[in-house]
Structure formats: C-alpha cells, structure tokens
C-alpha cells in the first residue's frame, strides 16, 4: 500500500510546494483546495508529469461538513489504493490589517474556523484512520502555524495570531495524546514567506515593508518551508513529536 498524504490548501503557496516535494519523495498526494480548481489541477498535473501520484479534492475546511466530506471522498477514491500516513494542516487565511477594536465577529470567526477548527477536524479524521487504536498503522501530522503565534501581529491581525497559537496548542496536546499510537504531531512556524497570502489580506507590499525585521534580511520561499514540512512528515524525523520548528530567517 502506497503512503498517502492529505494536504489542505495545497493549490497554491506553501501547500503547493509541499505537495510537489512530498510527491517527489514517493508520497501519493491529495491536493485539497477551496476555490482555485485551476491552481489545484496545475499542481496535480505537475506532479503527474514528474511521474508522481496526485488527486485534487475540493473542500472548505472552515465549514462544519467540509472536512467530513473531504475524508469521505478520500476513503472512496484513494483509500482503496493506499493508506493515509500523513496529514498537513496547511490551509490558512489572513484578513485585512485592523486593530482589535475595529474587528467584527464574522471576520474573526472565519479565521478561527479555517485556521484552527478546520485543522482540528482534519486531525480528528486522520487519527481515526492512522491510530493503532483503530487498527491503523500510524502516521505523521504537520500543522502549519506562523511566527505570528509568538509575535501577536499587533495592528495587523491579532485574531490570526490567536488562531495560530491555538493550532500550536492543539499540536502539543494531540502529540502527547497519540504518541503511543504510532502518530507523530509537529508544527512548522513560517515567518515572512513569499506567497499570495499577503495580497489576499489586502497588503501586497507587506513583505517588502517588513523584510528589514528579518535577521537574514530576506523573505523565505514556499520551497524552504516545504522542506521543513516534508522532513517532519517523513521517517527522517522519527523521534520528533510535539516539536515546533521555526522557519523564519531568525525573526
Ligand atoms: P496562500 O498562498 O494564500 O495559499 C493558501 C492556500 O490555502 C490555497 O491553496 C487556498 O486554496 C487554501 N485555502 C484557503 N482557505 C481554505 C479553506 N477554507 N479550505 C481549504 N483550503 C483553503 O497561503 P500561504 O502563504 O501558502 O499559506 C499557507 C499556510 O502558511 C497558511 O496556514 C498560513 O497561515 C501559513 N503562513 C504563511 C506565511 C507567509 O508569509 N506566507 C507565514 C506564516 C504562516 P485556493 O487556492 O482554493 O484558494
């Protein structure tokens, strides 16, 4: 049975880079996306062109039924050909820069649903399939957090920082909960990475403006984060669990 990794938000940015890197190392990859079917299919095509195995699956991880439907689709299609051995909780969103006193409920609720509750729901489904407690063969879960969890993102998006701090708490607790069941759970904490997420938050010049705060004086690439994700996913990190790996250029 081939090892399969399900990556949320793998149509663009860090997730797309991690999907391609994992596929190059022999993983069959489920490329989850929310809206950009074109981008997801481009990732799948690129992986297949290199001889890898990939399938695109649409699901909004911020919707209560979205995650259940995603895993049901997984069971029906890839479940017959391989076993779920990896989950990368990468899907994430930001919102426009605002102080806390200018935020409304709807915006912060959406951030927490996608960045935190969606990841928790995916982890739940993955544990049900990977844990030796349920007859599974173990696996690895990688949660994509953010340096915002320890910086707090003042004046930008404290609610986003909060969603990532909660994601890290989930990583630590779940790691200890399932450590004896063959599952490792770790997190990666990217810093300023060159993707479209900054423009999607209405601030395309964000990287350029903040890069002087990075000790290395440059932004990171999606591929540099993907290397950390895929290492934590792989057996090369077999004694790591409950770890949080900064990929921030020292920021
Ligand atoms: P990105 O380029 O904006 O890509 C976001 C990805 O998430 C896309 O594939 C998007 O799918 C998907 N997505 C968004 N909402 C979703 C939903 N509700 N359900 C399923 N998929 C959804 O972002 P990125 O910069 O690569 O960020 C990836 C992760 O890294 C996020 O968790 C982010 O918080 C974290 N991060 C990024 C940075 C940075 O500087 N870039 C820094 C720290 C942490 P569609 O293509 O369908 O829209």
Mean pLDDT of 99-120: 98
For ligand 1, whether the C-beta of 247 sits within 6 Å is no
**pTM confidence score:** 0.98
Report which protein residue has its CA nearest ligand 1's atom 3. Answer: 197
Q: How far is the CA of 133 from the centre of ligand 1 (A)?
A: 32
Average of per-residue pLDDT values in the chain: 97
For ligand 1, whether the C-beta of 91 sits within 6 Å is yes
Residue 60 has pLDDT above 90, yes or no: yes
Q: How far is the CA of 106 from the centre of ligand 1 (A)?
A: 19
State both tokens at 3.
């090892």
Report which protein residue has its CA nearest ligand 1's atom 19. Answer: 60
State both tokens at 16.
């797309």
Tokens 């998006």: give the residue. 157
Q: What 3-state class would DSSP assign to 67?
A: helix
For ligand 1, whether the C-beta of 39 sits within 6 Å is yes
Q: How far is the CA of 50 from the centre of ligand 1 (A)?
A: 24
Domains and CATH numbers, the chain: 2-247 (3.40.50.720)
Residue 182 has pLDDT above 90, yes or no: yes
In angstroms, rounded to a whole number, what is the distance separating the alpha carbons of residues 90 and 95?
Answer: 16
In angstroms, rounded to a whole number, what is the distance separating the alpha carbons of residues 246 and 191?
Answer: 8
State both tokens at 106.
């709807």
pLDDT value, residue 81: 76
pLDDT in tens, 221-230: 999 999 999 9
Number of C-beta neighbours around residue 29 at 10 A: 27
pLDDT in tens, 148-177: 999 999 999 999 999 999 999 999 999 999
For ligand 1, whether the C-beta of 193 sits within 6 Å is yes
The answer to which of 35-39, 96-100, 201-205 has the lowest mean pLDDT is 201-205
Mean pLDDT of 3-23: 98
Tokens 């004896």: give the residue. 180
pLDDT value, residue 1: 79
Mean pLDDT of 196-220: 95
Mean pLDDT of 125-139: 97
33 catalytically annotated: no
For ligand 1, whether the C-beta of 57 sits within 6 Å is no
Quick one: CA dihedral 211, 224, 95, 174, positive or negative?
Answer: negative
Residue 64 has pLDDT above 90, yes or no: no
pLDDT value, residue 88: 99
Of 33, 134, 160, 239, the catalytic one is 160
18 burial type by CB count under 10 A (0-12 exposed, 13-18 middle, 19+ buried): buried
Q: How far is the CA of 93 from the centre of ligand 1 (A)?
A: 6
Residue (of 67, 150, 182, 151) closest to 114 by Cα position: 67
pLDDT value, residue 204: 92
3-state DSSP helix/strand/coil percent for the chain, to nearest 5? 50, 20, 30
Mean pLDDT of 26-33: 97
Confidence of residue 80 (pLDDT cuts 50, 70, 90): confident
Mean pLDDT of 187-193: 98
What is the percent of the chain where pLDDT is above 90?
96
In angstroms, rounded to a whole number, what is the distance separating the alpha carbons of residues 140 and 30?
Answer: 15
Task: Give Cα separations from 50 to 45, 53, 57, 102 (angstroms).
Answer: 9, 9, 20, 48
Q: How far is the CA of 183 from the centre of ligand 1 (A)?
A: 24
Most ligand 1 atoms within 8 A of CB, residue of 6, 8, 10, 13 to mutate: 13
């Amino acid at each position: 049975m081939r090892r399969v990794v399900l990556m949320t938000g793998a149509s663009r940015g860090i997730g797309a880079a991690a999907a391609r890197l994992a596929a190059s190392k022999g993983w069959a990859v489920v490329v989850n996306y929310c809206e950009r079917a074109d981008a997801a299919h481009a990732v799948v095509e690129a992986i297949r062109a290199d001889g890898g195995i990939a399938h695109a699956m649409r699901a909004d991880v911020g919707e209560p039924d979205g995650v259940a439907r995603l895993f049901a689709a997984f069971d029906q299609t890839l479940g017959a050909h391989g076993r779920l051995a990896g989950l990368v909780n990468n899907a994430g969103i930001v919102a426009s820069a605002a102080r806390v006193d200018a935020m409304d409920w709807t915006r912060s609720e959406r951030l927490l649903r996608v960045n935190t509750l969606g990841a928790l729901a995916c982890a739940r489904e993955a544990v049900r399939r990977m844990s030796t407690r349920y007859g599974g063969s173990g696996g690895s879960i990688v949660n994509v957090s953010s340096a915002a969890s320890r910086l707090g993102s003042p004046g930008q998006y404290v609610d986003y920082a909060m969603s990532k701090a909660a994601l890290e708490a989930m990583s630590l607790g779940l790691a200890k909960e399932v450590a004896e069941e063959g599952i490792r759970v770790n997190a990666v904490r990217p810093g300023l990475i060159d993707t479209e997420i900054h423009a999607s938050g209405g601030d395309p010049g964000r990287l350029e403006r903040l890069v002087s705060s990075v000790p290395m004086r440059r932004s990171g690439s999606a591929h540099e984060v993907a290397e950390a994700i895929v290492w934590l996913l792989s057996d090369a990190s077999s004694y790591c669990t409950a770890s949080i790996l900064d990929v921030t250029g020292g920021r």
